[in-house]
């Protein structure tokens, strides 16, 4: 009984402190402010992670296409390649008539690769380069090759899965 009345008094006192205390914040207010700050910091952490793992939605890269994606052979230059950003794949043609495909998600930190030039697939985030022949790392911080995809020729198109 006494305890309950004490709790009620404390609650009321705390509430009054918050309402009446623009000058001296109660302990509860300080604790709350700290908690809010903590959440703010955690939120920043999540936002930072979300930035890189957002593009790391690599699961949706293969799953998003359902049955894969297609690209016209004519759109893939010999000695170069084409990045299909929506499908998160890069299709290359190292030599005439020989097509390859790889995940377009950089193995370093999950950025989508940005360009294909001089026989290399280039990630704009930290400068990793990958071979258009086999997806292997030719320079940069990326620790692993770009995972290979399956390319199937269908007339004048290529199906990537």
Residue with smaller CB distance to ligand FES, 56 or 80: 56
Residue with smaller CB distance to ligand FES, 69 or 128: 128
- Under the binding rule (CB under 6 A), the answer on residue 141 touching ligand FES is yes
Number of residues near ligand FES (by CB under 6 A): 12
Provide the minimum distance between the beta carbon of 93 and ligand FES in the complex, in angstroms, as a whole number. 22
- Under the binding rule (CB under 6 A), the answer on residue 125 touching ligand FES is yes
R_g of the chain, CA atoms, integer Å: 27
- Under the binding rule (CB under 6 A), the answer on residue 140 touching ligand FES is yes
Binding window for ligand FES (CB under 6 A); candidates: 24-32, 62-70, 87-95, 121-129: 121-129
For ligand FES, the binding residues in 78-117 under the rule CB under 6 A are 106, 108-109, 111
Query: Which strand (E) or helix (H) includes residue 39?
Result: helix 27-55
Q: How far is residue 101's CA from residue 128's CA, in Å, rounded to a whole number? A: 17
Question: C-alpha dihedral over 146, 58, 73, 158, to 10 degrees?
Answer: 110
The neighbour count for residue 49, using CB atoms within 10 Å, is 11
Binding window for ligand FES (CB under 6 A); candidates: 37-45, 70-78, 86-94, 136-144: 136-144
What is the contact mask toward ligand FES in residues 15 to 54, using x (rule: CB under 6 A)? ----------------------------------------
Burial 61-78 (b: 16+ CB within 10 A, else e): bbeebeebbbbeeeebee
Q: Taking a C-beta distance cutoff of 8 angstroms, is the pair 147, 103 a contact? A: yes
């Amino acid at each position: 009984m006494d305890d309950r009345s004490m709790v009620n008094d404390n609650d009321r006192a705390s509430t009054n402190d918050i309402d009446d205390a623009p000058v001296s914040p109660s302990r509860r207010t300080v604790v709350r402010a700290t908690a809010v700050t903590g959440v703010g910091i955690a939120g920043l952490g999540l936002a930072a992670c979300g930035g890189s793992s957002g593009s790391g939605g690599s699961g949706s890269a293969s799953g998003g296409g359902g049955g894969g994606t297609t690209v016209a052979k004519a759109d893939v230059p010999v000695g170069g390649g084409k990045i299909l950003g929506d499908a998160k794949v890069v299709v290359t043609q190292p030599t005439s008539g020989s097509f390859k495909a790889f995940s377009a998600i950089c193995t370093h930190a999950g950025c989508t690769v940005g360009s294909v030039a001089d026989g290399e697939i280039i990630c704009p985030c930290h400068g990793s380069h990958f071979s258009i022949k086999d997806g292997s790392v030719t320079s940069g911080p990326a620790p692993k090759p770009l995972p290979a995809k399956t390319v199937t020729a269908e007339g004048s198109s290529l199906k990537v899965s």
